[in-house]
Structure 1
Amino acid sequence: MSALAAIVVGLVLCLAGSLSVRLAVLTAGFGVAWTLAEALDADTGTALLIGLGGAVLAFTLTLLMARFLFFVGGLCVGAVIGAKLYVLVQGGSADVLLVLIVVPAVAILCAFLARRFERPFLVWGTAFGGAALVLSGVGRLWADVAGDLWRPASTAGVVLVLVVWALLAGVGYAVQRRGRHT
């Protein structure tokens, strides 16, 4: 059930995230919290609650820091991307030190890029963050068939995830760009 929620939230983030910074922050907040909860083996209900808590925390941050909305939006989207990268490089063991380095580093980098480039970065960032959530959700929901989309077991699996991730993000980018011109 929580994997299905991640797929839905990921599709919204990937295909429509740049239409509203607040929508991007809510969906990205859910995404990073859900991804890390799942990576650390939380049960379904707990992962869903943690995801909702992440969405509320991210949204509250934007209300408190409205002046830095793009920075916070980039921070949240970057955290989703960083969480997916953590899952790809951690090799099946829950290494807390690695999560404490990878996720914040990618999140802060994306926050600065979002602050500098604003909406153009948000389109790319939300497309990649949403695509990461969709792949993670599909990998969790259909682990027998698509488990490599969640935690690849080989280098070839990691390469496959990166290629599919880039392709899905490209589709999300194209849809968001098209939606802004109509």
Structure 2
Amino acid sequence: MKEEIIIAGFGGQGVLSMGKILAYSGVMQGQEVSWIPSYGPEMRGGTANVTVILSDRKISSPVVQEFDTGIVLNQQSLDKFEDSIKPGGTLLYDPNGITHPPHRTDLDVYTIDAAVEAARSGNAKVFNMFVLGAFLKIKPLVTVENVIEGLRHSLPERAHKMIPANEEALRKGMELVKKAE
């Protein structure tokens, strides 16, 4: 098993955190892991993306040009990375803010209304956990238990009080993901 993933969106959406949590979770499951963040100088509001590789064997290079899975959270990221997903790959996106839906017909495309759910929950900080939950429903590469443990390792101690809300959002995201029509 080897999964090459790009997660992309605006800074402040938890893109880098999502990748970091996924990477920590893979390490806890004994997987080989690569995590490479990329972001503009703006941080919040600028573009951000992270490449995560999870594998059951050594990773020869962390540099990836084509991805098995794309998780995109804004139109700019969809425009930039949709064509970088391998034929037969998976694309997961939040339709909020997407004006031109994916055009590829050779991908398995899924949606999660994470922005709507985060607003409904009254906690915008768990937006990325709805998305991560959706991804794990589609591709259960790591266990929910290891994701929760990954949260403990990646969140500062002062934010550990948010772990129950993150877990709830993660599980809700698993329920809400749907195949795009």
TM-score clears 0.5: no
| Larger strand fraction of residues | 2
| TM-score, normalization by structure 1 | 0.30
Q: Which has the higher contact order (CA 8 A, sep 6+)?
A: 1
| Larger helix fraction of residues | 1
